[in-house]
């Protein structure tokens, strides 16, 4: 019995027909209502509206204005002009879109599969299991900006470990291998650090999900002559389905957010070829002082997120029978 986060939506008390209290006295005391809920909700609502929802709406509004971001400058309404500029005159925007899309697609496959393999390997008694688990998981608790620095050093063309390995394998021309300064490769080099960071998180989620796989079912499938792959395919994987969905959704959300790693490793370069949407929005607002373009990019990012996430939320509020 595995529940997804969002299935809880449907369990909200307001919707359930609860057994009505027998005594009218109880009914009166327990009535509740929004007034009773307000003192508990107010601080959260205030923080959420002022610092999360408010700024998001502002971002959408500001995407329709021309503004440098400085208090002294005026905001001038320009309609959809920022979007027109973004789509037609900003080649970096399309690079960023492409990189973000590639990033999401790759991360749906690579760190997820790795995490699943780690979990499957460690879901049985193995000598040193806790050490394995910790080593795989620890990158996930480190600050992405620290990870960026570690990998930047590993990619160092002269003294880095990856360069040394490439030389030892006689890869390239022996003059040291460039990864982060190669416009074609940089984004994938950063992605490798991302894989290192998140695979262990996926492993932990899969390990949790594997607890819900019925041991008896696995055993009886084995007795029926199923081999390891068949057991995995027909017993384990179906039972893991809710976990797989959670992992994929979290992966999408985390991939769209990628920011620190790129800032720390390339800053979007060389020649903006490793830009991603989240960083490009920031760069336009804060480095180019073009809040209009920056917020138009942010709005695009918001729309992409909603398009990807809302179907999941609808699915998970409806599909309780899983």
Q: Which among 93, 280, 279, 269 is positioned nearest to 186, based on CA atoms?
A: 269
Find out whether 295 and 60 touch, Cβ atoms under 8 Å. Answer: yes
| Site residues (CB under 8 A) for other proteins, limited to 141-180 | 141-147, 149-154, 156, 159-161, 163-164
* Angle value at C-alpha 44, between 40 and 48, nearest 5 degrees: 155
* Secondary structure element (H or E) that encloses residue 65, with its range: strand 65-66
Of 273 and 316, which CB lies nearer to other proteins in the complex structure? 316
ω into 270 cis (within 30 of 0): yes
Q: What are phi and psi of 239, to 5 degrees?
A: -70, -25
Find out whether 146 and 196 touch, Cβ atoms under 8 Å. Answer: no
Contact map string, positions 256 to 295, toward other proteins, x by CB under 8 A: xx-xx--xx-------------xx-xx--xx----x--xx
Dist. CA 205–CA 321, nearest whole Å: 21
Of 17, 24, 52, 215, the residue at the interface with other proteins (CB under 8 A) is: 52
* Smallest separation, CB 194 to other proteins (Å): 13
User: Per CB under 8 A, does 9 bind other proteins?
Assistant: yes
User: Per CB under 8 A, does 232 bind other proteins?
Assistant: no
| Site residues (CB under 8 A) for other proteins, limited to 85-104 | none
Dist. CA 221–CA 174, nearest whole Å: 53
Of 81, 98, 110, 132, the residue at the interface with other proteins (CB under 8 A) is: 132
Of 109 and 306, which CB lies nearer to other proteins in the complex structure? 306
User: Per CB under 8 A, does 136 bind other proteins?
Assistant: yes
Of 101, 218, 239, 302, the residue at the interface with other proteins (CB under 8 A) is: 302
Of 177 and 184, which CB lies nearer to other proteins in the complex structure? 177
Of 99, 107, 236, 243, the residue at the interface with other proteins (CB under 8 A) is: 243
Dist. CA 308–CA 315, nearest whole Å: 12
């Amino acid at each position: 019995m595995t529940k997804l986060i969002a299935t809880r939506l449907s369990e909200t008390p307001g919707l359930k027909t609860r057994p009505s209290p027998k005594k009218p006295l109880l009914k009166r005391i327990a009535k509740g209502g929004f007034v009773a809920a307000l003192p508990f909700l107010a601080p959260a609502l205030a923080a959420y509206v002022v610092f999360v929802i408010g700024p998001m709406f502002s971002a959408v509004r500001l995407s329709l204005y021309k503004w440098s971001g400085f208090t002294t400058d005026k905001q001038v309404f320009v309609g959809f002009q920022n979007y027109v500029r973004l789509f037609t005159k900003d080649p970096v925007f399309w690079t960023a879109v492409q990189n973000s899309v590639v990033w999401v697609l790759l991360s749906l496959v690579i760190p997820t599969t790795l995490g699943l393999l780690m979990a499957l390997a460690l879901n049985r008694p193995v000598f040193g299991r806790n050490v394995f688990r910790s080593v795989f998981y620890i990158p996930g608790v480190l600050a992405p900006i620290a990870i960026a620095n570690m990998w930047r050093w590993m990619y160092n063309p002269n003294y880095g470990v990856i360069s040394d390995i490439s030389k030892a394998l006689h890869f390239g021309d022996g003059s040291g291998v460039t990864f982060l300064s190669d416009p074609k490769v940089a984004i994938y080099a950063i992605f490798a650090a991302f894989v290192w960071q998140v695979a262990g998180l996926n492993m932990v989620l899969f390990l949790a999900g594997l607890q819900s796989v019925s041991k008896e079912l696995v055993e009886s499938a084995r007795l029926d002559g199923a081999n390891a792959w068949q057991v995995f395919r027909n017993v384990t994987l179906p039972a893991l389905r809710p976990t797989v969905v959670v992992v994929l959704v979290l992966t999408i959300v985390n991939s769209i957010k990628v920011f620190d790693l790129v800032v720390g490793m390339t800053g979007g370069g060389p020649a903006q070829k490793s830009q991603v949407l989240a960083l490009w929005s920031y760069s336009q607002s804060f480095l180019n002082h073009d809040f209009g373009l920056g917020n138009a990019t942010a709005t695009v990012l918001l729309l992409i997120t909603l398009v990807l996430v809302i179907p999941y939320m609808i699915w998970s509020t409806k599909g309780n029978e899983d």
